[in-house]
Amino acid sequence: MTSRATVVAAVAATLALTAPLAVTADASPWTAVSVWETTADQSRLLTPMPGTAFGRGAAGSQTISIDQTRRYQSISGFGASFTDSSAWLIANSPQRDAIMTKLFDPRRGIGLDFLRQPIGASDFSRSLFSYDDGPADPKLAHFSVQHDQDYILPILRQALRLNPQTTVMATPWSMPGWMKTSGSMIGGSVRTDDQTLRAYANYLVKFVQSYRKAGVPVSLLSAQNEPEYSPADYPGATMTAADQAKFIGDYLGPALRDAGLRTGILAYDHNWDDTQYPSAVLGDPQASKYTSGVAWHCYGGNPDAQSVVHDAYPAKDAYFTECSGSQSSDHANTFSDSLVWQTQHLIIGGTRNWAKSVVTWNVALDPSGGPTMHCTTCTGAVTVDNAADSVSYNAEYYVLGQASKFVKPGAVRIDSNTFGANNVEDVAFRNPDGSTALLVLNSDGAAAHTFTVSEHGRSFSYTLPAKAVATFTWR
């Protein structure tokens, strides 16, 4: 006679590949759990695994306890950036539609739903450009986004058609050169006279209006990418915290308001290693009125910085907005190194420290890491080689996909314990449809780990290989 447990296990295995993500709040003790894995050796790449099921039983010695009643921030999305280079590569690829489907379609792809778009040229552009180049034009009579009409805006509209829930953020690497102390998009800082700051605020307003008219609504805006760094060979500008607070409070915020735009403003947009800068902006009463939160990058410090600022200003949101992939010194290890580090620091570390978004950097680059003005070892989510008509999907694609495919906009992070580096690390979410998604990383580089997941007095156990990621979903 077949035991009840055997029947349940068989049903769970079948449901794992077919069960939708919608779930009820009070699941039965025999709830089926679906599992998807990505492994460091690439033998599994967002691969559906044989399912498991919650059953009655005691928790194990290493137990992830889920508490649906303790809730944290809501999630806006996961994604990357269509830099000028990325958009150009994909727009010119014979496989364009297949790439876009795998990136943005929630069912046939990974459902990316957050894009951070450069305003003008960045380090990953085929040329230097702003939307008002040439002589000083404080009235912005020559403002135009015509450059973006050829391939950037069409690609963005295609992404929005594939996933209408996508949030678009925009960030300038540099204002037009005539607004800067250097007279160029490279080097220098924004001039701080009233006429220039007013023109710069109106420049950003015109960008938001132009993109909205072109079918790409911009929900979030930052005043300057990486304001504490002025690169020597690509667009950038320094902006002190005091200058940013003045610009947001006296110019950009009022300009957006007067234009009837509800675009949120994010402060800082730089690394984890400085909490004083964003705190200074949020601590300015006038700037704070117009500032929705803080944007963070990964190139210094650690994700705990997000909690430091959140704890001081709990009404302000945190967004993680940039982290480029990079080739490892031993290229054979690039995929595994990126899979573990980015899952650990961005997906888990970022969201466990209040991030509403996790955004890497380039959506796509070519096999040489370009087109680029600077970094030649950077990697995108996708490598597009149009000369060979080939496309490959990198670790960033799977890092994002293990989250974006299962954690939907409006999801709320819920409480779960984690075990730290070189062990089982995790983060859990409750989706708007009532489903639960638990993402688990085994950051141990050598050994598989068996752990138990416990919720409401029921549990299941699972063994995850070394340097592997799994996402569990259940009703």
Q: What is the mean pLDDT of residues 316-336?
A: 95
Query: Considering the domain boundaries, does residue 9 fall inside one?
Result: no
Query: Considering the domain boundaries, does residue 2 fall inside one?
Result: no
Distance of alpha carbon 374 from alpha carbon 140, whole angstroms? 30
Distance of alpha carbon 306 from alpha carbon 295, whole angstroms? 9
Question: How much of the chain is in helix, strand and coil states, percent to nearest 5?
Answer: 30, 30, 40
- The pLDDT of residue 57 is 62
Q: What is the mean pLDDT of residues 37-47?
A: 98
Distance of alpha carbon 335 from alpha carbon 53, whole angstroms? 31
Mark whether 234 and 364 lie in a shared domain: yes
CATH number of the domain residue 262 falls in:
3.20.20.80
Query: Distance from CA of residue 190 to its chain's centroid?
Result: 27
Mark whether 235 and 329 lie in a shared domain: yes
* pLDDT tens digits, one per residue of 57-90: 666 679 999 999 999 999 999 999 999 999 999 9
Distance of alpha carbon 33 from alpha carbon 166, whole angstroms? 27
* pLDDT tens digits, one per residue of 388-430: 999 999 999 999 999 999 999 999 999 999 999 999 999 999 9
- Note down the domain range covering 45: 20-69+413-474
Mark whether 210 and 252 lie in a shared domain: yes
CATH number of the domain residue 35 falls in:
2.60.40.1180
Residues 189 and 179 sit within 8 Å (Cβ to Cβ): no
Mark whether 445 and 315 lie in a shared domain: no
- The pLDDT of residue 26 is 46
Q: Which of 380, 406, 432 is the last residue of a domain?
A: 406
Cβ contacts of residue 147 below 8 Å, gap of 6+?
129, 131
Query: Considering the domain boundaries, does residue 24 fall inside one?
Result: yes
Q: What is the mean pLDDT of residues 176-191?
A: 98
Average pLDDT over the chain, rounded to an integer: 94
- The pLDDT of residue 30 is 77
